[in-house]
A and B are shown apart, each in its own frame.
Chain A
Amino acid sequence: MLRSQVLLIVLLAGLALYLFRLRTTPRDRLLYIVMVGVAVPLVLFPDASNVVAHAVGIGRGADLVFYLFIIFSLFHFATSASRIRQLERQLTSLVQDRALAAPDVPPGQGSSSA
């Protein structure tokens, strides 16, 4: 085994463990298992990507890996963006509820809330 292969596999294993602890939804865990499951064989047998690429009509294995990387990144971008918007909505209603719960009424104006 080449030294670069050892290094890459150690890094992938470390990343997998870290993500597994960080991401707890079954869907995300499955996604990372699949990713590592694809990445490790590719590190060990780099030529395999060429075989798969040729089978689907792509010139080089490196191109195939690059395309997959782009698709995964876009997917990740889209899911993070919707997660952020959801958090933003929750944060907004939390801040608004807090504001409404404690109106600062000047003396003499009394509270007339229904």
Chain B
Amino acid sequence: MPEASTVWIVIPALNEARTIGDVVAPLRACGWRVVVIDDGSRDGTAAAARAAGAVVLRHSINLGQGAGLRTGIAFVQRQRDAQCVVTYDADGQHQPDAVAALIGVLTREHVDVVLGSRFLDDSGAREVPAARRALLRLATLFTRFTTGLRVTDAHNGLRAFTVDAASRLRLTHNRMAHASEMLSEIARLGLRYAEAPVTIRYTDYSMAKGQRPLDALAILWDIFTAGLR
């Protein structure tokens, strides 16, 4: 296992003042480094994140989660001793212990990327509401078909990269389609990847903040028009 202080957790956040402190604090308590990208919030997100011990980068205007992750990864690349980058959601849906599990797989299996999956074992899948499960199955089939990656979950925000692998990703989507884009980059670069089981806490809050089924259409549109840019 790498030293905890060489692992950076990247959390893009928009108007999460209520929860961001509770998301950051347990991660800092484990010794991980945390960088929160405040993506143009209108509330006290930046102050709450900093008070909980995160380095804060501020986007002067809202750019989207994909852009936030890119800014965070660029920041981690500049840290001399950084070895791993973990992407993490700001709304409290991930469990802090999952980071250690992901980093464990990353080092044990000598891979470049570890992807969190809700469907790797049954206990994770049971937590996912039925309607969302059906939509995610479709998204996963689509991803397998378009990227050739044999993944069991397509749009999970929890992933761990070696810094070296993360710096090679060429990401361009500012908004939600970055999750698919990350997978196609993993396929294009031929990165070694593994999956690790994660459970997601679906609270009313995270469901309200999260994507609605119709957003899937917007993501598809982004992916298909990407070639036209």
Which residue numbers of A lie inside 8 Å of B, CB to CB? Answer: 85, 88, 91-92, 95-96, 98-100, 102-106, 109, 112-114
B65-77 interface code vs A (CB 8 A; 1 in, 0 out): 0010011001100
Which residue numbers of B lie inside 8 Å of A, CB to CB? Answer: 33, 35, 37, 46, 50-51, 53-61, 63, 67, 70-71, 74-75, 78-81, 174, 229
B79–A113 touching, CB < 8 Å:
yes
Q: How many contacts A-B (CB < 8 Å)?
A: 61
Alpha-carbon gap, A91 to B51, bound state (A): 29
Closest to B35 in A: A103
B75–A100 touching, CB < 8 Å:
yes
Q: Which residues of A contact B57 (CB under 8 A)?
A: 99-100, 102-104
Q: A95-B61, A113-B79 are in contact. Are A103 and B55 (CB under 8 A)?
A: yes
Q: Which residues of A contact B61 (CB under 8 A)?
A: 91, 95
A96–B80 touching, CB < 8 Å:
no
The 29 listed contacts between A and B (C-beta, < 8 Å) are A85-B229, A88-B174, A92-B63, A92-B67, A95-B63, A95-B67, A96-B59, A96-B67, A96-B70, A96-B71, A99-B37, A99-B58, A100-B71, A100-B74, A100-B78, A102-B57, A103-B75, A104-B50, A104-B56, A106-B51, A106-B55, A109-B53, A109-B55, A112-B79, A112-B81, A113-B80, A114-B78, A114-B79, A114-B80
Q: How far apart are B13's CB and chain A's nearest CB, in angstroms?
A: 13
Question: Which one of A85, A102, A113 has the greatest number of beta carbons of chain B within 10 Å?
Answer: A113
Q: A95-B59, A99-B58 are in contact. Are A104 and B37 (CB under 8 A)?
A: no
A99–B59 touching, CB < 8 Å:
yes
Closest to B40 in A: A95
